[in-house]
Structure 1
């Protein structure tokens, strides 16, 4: 069982920590000196709380011997695609067929067939439309013939 709330840092360990740190030992080495009583992260936290900074060891900072970023490479710029010519304007009026410059465009959508529930789950066959009509209670399916190996008919 561990002692919750008991600090591993007594006065002797704090003095040893200061001494080892000022000698230039790393946090991992200091942690090993304490033989598993404190972790490397505990050493780092204690040093931070004590306000001790890393002593100058005469080593260059890690990763600073080369530039931070790779030099920019000049990229080849491609010509922009030409802008499209003038577009035909389509006027949309709610409830009316779309027009192209004053001409009435033909409607291409056939009138939808009325959706009448035709089959229950138990009545559905292999090639019947599985479009659900209705809510949870009394759920029925479209049941029309499906097309192109699809579970739905052409309407759905």
Structure 2
């Protein structure tokens, strides 16, 4: 498909008339919506009839000559009383501090003694929890006994798999 003078003229008229790129592409035939948009940009056809965006631009343009008047943005209503001088930051400290919730009690937590297994020593029944930096010589895996349904021992499974409700509480 080539852009002939007739097709460009039709595109220009439809674009300035407010037709969408999809409508123009359908009318011209053999051209995609993106091809129409690309041609519009290459032709620099930015001025076109718009129904919804035009009033917003006119408001901005009409307020430009009155630059000598100070422009004030409407601030949202506040319920707090205005502060003066050294009490300006006091509003931030009026709220009571929120106590942090402890998700699990630290009582009765037994950390298993690692068997310090290498990768080649792991089996289906050993914990595959990595310990240390893999780039260092002292890197190893836990190696304690794991259940059939988990690659980790009971202690490391509690660390790896947290209930959804606990994760949501921690995120708050």
Please indicate the TM-score interval, normalised by the length of the shorter structure. Answer: 0.3 to 0.5
Greater radius of gyration (CA): 1
Q: Which has the higher helix share?
A: 2
TM-score (norm 2): 0.36
Q: Which has the higher strand share?
A: 1
